[in-house]
Structure 1
Amino acid sequence: MTETQASIESRPPSVAHLFLQRVEATPDTEAYRYPVPGPDGGQEQWRSLSWAQAAQRVYAIAAGLIDLGVRPEERVAIASNTRIDWILADLGVLCAGAATTTIYPSTNADESCFILADSGSRVLIAEDAAQLAKARERRSELPELSHVVVINPAGVPDGDGDWVLTLEELEQRGAAYLEKHPEAVRKAVDGITSEQLATLIYTSGTTGRPKGVRLPQDAWSYMAKAIASTGLLGPEDVQYLWLPLAHVFGKVLTAGHIELGHVIAVDGRVDKIIDNLPVVQPTYMAAVPRIFEKVYNGVAAKARAGGGAKYRIFQWAAGVAREYAKTSQENRQASGNPSVPFGLAAKHAVADKLVYAKIREAFGGRLRACVSGSAALAPEIGYFFSGAGIHILEGYGLTESSAASFVNPGENYRTGTVGKPLPGTEVRIAEDGEILLRGPGIMQGYHGLPEKTEEVLEPDGWFHTGDIGELSDDGFLRITDRKKDLIKTSGGKYISPAEVEGQFKAACPFVSNVLVIGANRNFCTALIALDEPTIMGWAADHDLAGRGYAEVVAAPQTRELVEGYVTRINEGLQRWQTIKKFRLLPRDLTVEHGELTPSLKLKRPVVEREFKDLIDEMYEGSREA
């Protein structure tokens, strides 16, 4: 048995156990950084918590919940943006032996109420008055919800009695409880077993009510040990965490952090990422593809704004980056040596001074690697960043598999794949190409939905992911599409929309979102949403200054611009894959309109319903299947 296997197999029953071990091992080491307002409304400052300081708050929250009557496996919901209090509250729930129900703060009152009721949550930890209001207006439908704990009490009205208390009050209550029962939290942790429920995460389905995914305590302790075994992170790293913690991708990062003991800088404000990176100077960051797409588009737009010469230099450097990355990866794969021909290395060195070094500086200057997950990253964008020295390691997993099932192995990563399975995770490809997974990270099932569970989880533990993929001879997995998203034209040809969409995103620096349509049609079309800052910058230089976004999108010059990119990618596609017609959307797709999940994945049926008129217009007069 290898050391990795031994570590994984001898894991403790829960992350709560790991947390107590971490605090005991490195009490005075920095654990967290988080932003706080500057004095007198001045510039924000970053504050630190050591593991011992974090533990003091975590134990107080855990004891406060125990004092409120929360018992093992009972649910405590958290509705908040990513912030230090979310992590401490979650650890408090786990150290009380209870289970966390996650709710996105963008979830509307109706769905928030459904999740609280379906999960049977006893306590809701709400970020602010707005999150409290969602529960208050449906309080009569939530008889099991005995308390709401508010993190930021500003603007919270009186009149709820002891039903509402602040997080500070909960911690004070817990501290008083620990004075009388100093071993209460340790006893609660000692009582946790591996199969107990730890987390209920509700999937943001494209239709109908979301399903609660039941993840046991053991899933998270397994993930912590498996992530550590990859060697991608070490105790000296600084990880920047902005991902939504209500999503399994963000949640799994907190488990790995506890096992490894490095620093996490926490700030969930997406609009602060660019400002924070030079300040935090992370060595490691996880993100979704949309973030890398926006950075790429922003760099291209800045180069274009600098004039024709600068833009030509950028385009040349982008081409060199892709060629360098592809060549070095292919050579490493063939011989173990990533070296490239002298001429290419010389061009790369010049491009590095002119372009790449500035990109790395924008990421803080110390970034060793990024992990990308939640959706597919267009390979051409991945190769660009790889060649520029921003190494993006794609990974793969689902809510039902505790997020991290595959990840690319450090320096040996292969752009366009999601890497190899984590130790302890098994994979096989079904006859129809579907990816099946088995291992400790797999869910127990869907909460209260045994029939739905049976549809995807076989009695011997194999989970049907619904994704199509292929394994290389040496174990690298390539995702080709969602099983349900493969489309078949009326001519009988199968098409992967994601493949065509990825190519378009890599080719067109103005695109924000694109949806390829063609199921049961005799040709493919596309709905295209443009990135507002990028296209507005272009518009100002093309006789469209002063016009609004919708006007710019509707302008003939804009259509002509995008048509050029459509023509370019069509040249590299099979005939039946080509985009014959397209429409530019009058606005971008958003989470608020329900067209994107909180992790920024397209909800195809929602988009198709919302813009049905534009789709019908493109197929008007065409022969249907």
Structure 2
Amino acid sequence: MASPSQCTNLLDCALYWERDAADRICFTQPMGGGDANLRTWTWAQAVDEARRVAAYLKGLDLPLRSSIALCSKNCAYWLMADLAIWMAGHVSVPIYPILTADIVNYTLEHSEARLLFVGKLDPVWEEMKKGVPADLKTVSFPLAPENGQEQWESIVAAHSPLKDVAECPPDETATIIYTSGSTGKPKGAMISFGAMYRSGRGLSEYLNTTPEDRTLSYLPLAHAMERFVGQAHYLYTGFQQFFAESLDTFVQDLQRARPTMFASVPRLWLKFQLGVFEKVPPARLDRLLKIPILSGMVKKKILRQLGLDQVRVAASGSAPIPKEVIAWYRRLGLELLEGYGMTENFSYSHIGRPGRIRPGYVGNPYPDVEHRISPEGEILVKSPGTMKGYFKMPEKNEHIFTEDGFFRTGDLGEIDEMGRLKITGRAKELFKTSKGKYVAPAPIENQLASSHLVEACYVTGSGYHQAHAVVMLSEEARQKANGETRGILANELATLLGDVNRGLPPFEQIAFLAVAKDDWTVENGFLTPTLKIKRRVLDATYGPLAESWYAMNAPVVWQEAA
């Protein structure tokens, strides 16, 4: 092959870089201890290591296209293991590194996994591993919790590189990506080699990516968005990839990588913003940004301290992001390109175009993607990244595509005169008030979450005369939630409620804000691994309190008072 553009799959792209960029650094991996303990791989070294593990997998004599699972936080070993799985002729099955034991067990059993790679994991692994079948063969990465399993480094040392790697036909399944399970049991989307390759190539061409670019890989590789951006895009283009060490060192990791491209989810963009506000209150920052001499210096300092001063492409995806947040970053000189996609189309669907951003819209479809709105208001998408179907779920596959091949997203939306898409809600999330009116919660949640007082929120109220919202306070607001300042906070929240309600039709207006005392985290089950709220869990937790909240007849109520 003369270039990646002449390949048909991502494995061939990796083999191209192995040959044509052998000595160029492809991975930089913290091994514990920050800058004092970094490991790097050249393309030749990384592919050689993958070939050696592939030789080990071939020696197991597993049936061709066996499922092999991966459970680890992002690291170089994750991507090398995926290459090894493909080289040996098998299918990778990512598992989120923060899941309950029953979901781990379900995923491994349902996917018929024959082997499990275990890597960099939090202490929660002690609970997760209870879901791993006792007879499932396990291989551990160097960063894995201490165990008695076979070790990656021992396998690499004991095997010669596999020379004749397996064929990866475009229509064959490359990976089975299980959905995050926010609406029930996870479903396994079968993504082909061709879909992964065409998506990676499409993004690279759209962003004009080159091997000189840099990224930091930290969003879960078990999720389609990071597989799309941090694997398919990466393998096609051949740029250098850095990995994050931990949540505590994240800013240092960013500063080390100085990424030229950075994608995140709304909650993290909000956290960055709130972190800035903790050092410089919003009113003071606003004044500084209005002073011509100081403005440029302040912007550069903020972006430099965040490690984002070299970013030429910034993006947000996985959930709606408040337009006020987009405007705030744009004021700093960082234009966030909002993206939209699903596991089922490998996240290759829509993205904002520089200079054509419209707040509240997720952008246009990629050049080779088609979209339309059904008569019922549902967004239909036809993408080269679309899955083959759900693994072992033929009854679901019958209804997810239109007769002419468009995927039924389940999202509601509208398209403007420039072809930009707006998400107006999720069909399954709509609820009806006692007045018979349907409410779409996501857009209202988006408005509430734009406040510096709110870290996350959830709008509900099925069967009640009016909807209400449960909010988890930001760190800034929590400091005011106790003692004499609680009344001040309550007034600020009441003002927020009034501001949001003024922009809503009467049937969608919120009766009150309920302040949750709980932290909503992935570990305690309130959030999915991609930081989306789990409505069923929130319903079960706060539903029994709703009647007493309505009886208080106040704009702001507190969970402990119910």
1:22 aligns with 2:17: yes
Q: TM-score, normalised by structure 1?
A: 0.81
Q: TM-score, normalised by structure 2?
A: 0.90
Q: How does 1:109-258 map onto structure 2 within 5 Å?
A: 109-127=101-119, 137=130, 145=136, 147-152=137-142, 156-158=146-148, 164-175=149-160, 178=161, 183-185=163-165, 188=166, 191-253=167-229, 254-258=231-235
Q: Do the aligned partners of 1:206 and 1:604 also contact (CA within 8 Å) in 2? A: yes
Q: How does 1:433-582 map onto structure 2 within 5 Å?
A: 433-506=377-450, 508-531=451-474, 533-538=475-480, 555-582=486-513
Q: Do the aligned partners of 2:322 and 2:447 also contact (CA within 8 Å) in 1? A: yes
1:263 aligns with 2:240: yes
Shift of 1:570: 2.6
Q: Do the aligned partners of 2:243 and 2:253 also contact (CA within 8 Å) in 1? A: no
Cα distance change, pair 384–207 in 1 and its aligned pair in 2 (3 A): closer
Q: How does 1:339-488 map onto structure 2 within 5 Å?
A: 347=290, 349=292, 352-353=295-296, 355-364=298-307, 365-488=309-432
Q: Do the aligned partners of 1:126 and 1:132 also contact (CA within 8 Å) in 2? A: no
Deviations 1:310-335 (A, max 9, x none): x5332456xx7xxxxxxxxxxxxxxx
Cα distance change, pair 300–578 in 1 and its aligned pair in 2 (3 A): farther
Q: Do the aligned partners of 2:414 and 2:423 also contact (CA within 8 Å) in 1? A: yes
Aligned to 1:334: none
1:36 aligns with 2:31: yes
In the alignment, the residues of structure 1 paired with residue 283 and residue 120 of structure 2 have an alpha-carbon distance, to the nearest angstrom, of 49
Cα distance change, pair 258–207 in 1 and its aligned pair in 2 (3 A): closer
Partner secondary structure for residue 481 of structure 1: strand
Cα distance change, pair 228–138 in 1 and its aligned pair in 2 (3 A): closer
In the alignment, the residues of structure 1 paired with residue 258 and residue 492 of structure 2 have an alpha-carbon distance, to the nearest angstrom, of 37
Partner secondary structure for residue 456 of structure 1: coil
In the alignment, the residues of structure 2 paired with residue 481 and residue 25 of structure 1 have an alpha-carbon distance, to the nearest angstrom, of 47
In the alignment, the residues of structure 2 paired with residue 154 and residue 570 of structure 1 have an alpha-carbon distance, to the nearest angstrom, of 49
Deviations 1:430-477 (A, max 9, x none): 111111112321111111110011121235422100111122223221
In the alignment, the residues of structure 1 paired with residue 67 and residue 548 of structure 2 have an alpha-carbon distance, to the nearest angstrom, of 49
Aligned to 1:108: 100
Bigger proportion of residues as helix = 1
In the alignment, the residues of structure 2 paired with residue 293 and residue 135 of structure 1 have an alpha-carbon distance, to the nearest angstrom, of 29
Q: Do the aligned partners of 1:113 and 1:134 also contact (CA within 8 Å) in 2? A: no
Shift of 1:358: 2.7
Partner secondary structure for residue 249 of structure 2: helix
Which of 533, 545, 551 aligns to 1:614? It is: 545
Aligned to 1:344: none
Partner secondary structure for residue 46 of structure 2: helix
Q: Do the aligned partners of 1:230 and 1:409 also contact (CA within 8 Å) in 2? A: no
Q: What RMSD in Å do the two structures reach over aligned CA positions?
A: 2.7
Shift of 1:53: 1.5
1:59 aligns with 2:51: yes
Q: Tell me, which stretches of 5 or more residues in structure 1 are unaligned?
A: 1-6, 159-163, 305-310, 321-346, 545-554
Cα distance change, pair 113–267 in 1 and its aligned pair in 2 (3 A): same
In the alignment, the residues of structure 1 paired with residue 46 and residue 310 of structure 2 have an alpha-carbon distance, to the nearest angstrom, of 26
Partner secondary structure for residue 468 of structure 1: strand
Partner secondary structure for residue 236 of structure 1: coil
Amino acid across the alignment from 1:27:
A
Amino acid across the alignment from 1:124:
L
In the alignment, the residues of structure 2 paired with residue 417 and residue 350 of structure 1 have an alpha-carbon distance, to the nearest angstrom, of 34
Which 10-residue stretch deviates more, 269-278 or 124-133? 124-133
Aligned to 1:313: 284
Shift of 1:172: 2.6
Shift of 1:270: 3.2
Partner secondary structure for residue 283 of structure 2: helix
Amino acid across the alignment from 1:527:
V
Q: Tell me, which stretches of 5 or more residues in structure 2 are unaligned?
A: 554-562
Cα distance change, pair 586–134 in 1 and its aligned pair in 2 (3 A): closer
Amino acid across the alignment from 1:299:
V
In the alignment, the residues of structure 1 paired with residue 396 and residue 306 of structure 2 have an alpha-carbon distance, to the nearest angstrom, of 42
Aligned to 2:261: 284
In the alignment, the residues of structure 1 paired with residue 60 and residue 359 of structure 2 have an alpha-carbon distance, to the nearest angstrom, of 50
Shift of 1:586: 0.7
Aligned to 1:93: 85
In the alignment, the residues of structure 2 paired with residue 369 and residue 194 of structure 1 have an alpha-carbon distance, to the nearest angstrom, of 29
Shift of 1:232: 4.6
Cα distance change, pair 154–203 in 1 and its aligned pair in 2 (3 A): closer
Q: Do the aligned partners of 1:466 and 1:483 also contact (CA within 8 Å) in 2? A: yes
Q: Do the aligned partners of 2:457 and 2:472 also contact (CA within 8 Å) in 1? A: yes
Cα distance change, pair 611–126 in 1 and its aligned pair in 2 (3 A): same
Shift of 1:483: 1.6
Partner secondary structure for residue 265 of structure 1: strand
In the alignment, the residues of structure 2 paired with residue 461 and residue 501 of structure 1 have an alpha-carbon distance, to the nearest angstrom, of 32
Shift of 1:105: 1.5
Shift of 1:489: 2.9
Cα distance change, pair 28–228 in 1 and its aligned pair in 2 (3 A): same
Aligned to 2:557: none
Cα distance change, pair 488–157 in 1 and its aligned pair in 2 (3 A): closer
Which 10-residue stretch deviates more, 450-459 or 288-297? 450-459
In the alignment, the residues of structure 2 paired with residue 457 and residue 582 of structure 1 have an alpha-carbon distance, to the nearest angstrom, of 39
Q: For this pair of structures, how many residues does the alignment match?
A: 548
Partner secondary structure for residue 93 of structure 2: strand
Shift of 1:528: 0.8
Partner secondary structure for residue 248 of structure 2: helix
In the alignment, the residues of structure 2 paired with residue 621 and residue 266 of structure 1 have an alpha-carbon distance, to the nearest angstrom, of 49
Cα distance change, pair 358–430 in 1 and its aligned pair in 2 (3 A): same
Q: Do the aligned partners of 1:436 and 1:463 also contact (CA within 8 Å) in 2? A: yes
Q: Do the aligned partners of 1:65 and 1:96 also contact (CA within 8 Å) in 2? A: yes
Larger Rg: 1
Cα distance change, pair 503–439 in 1 and its aligned pair in 2 (3 A): closer
Shift of 1:282: 1.2
Q: Do the aligned partners of 2:178 and 2:188 also contact (CA within 8 Å) in 1? A: yes
Amino acid across the alignment from 2:253:
N
Partner secondary structure for residue 271 of structure 1: coil
1:81 aligns with 2:73: yes
In the alignment, the residues of structure 2 paired with residue 66 and residue 439 of structure 1 have an alpha-carbon distance, to the nearest angstrom, of 33
Cα distance change, pair 587–416 in 1 and its aligned pair in 2 (3 A): same
Cα distance change, pair 413–235 in 1 and its aligned pair in 2 (3 A): farther
Q: Do the aligned partners of 1:112 and 1:134 also contact (CA within 8 Å) in 2? A: no
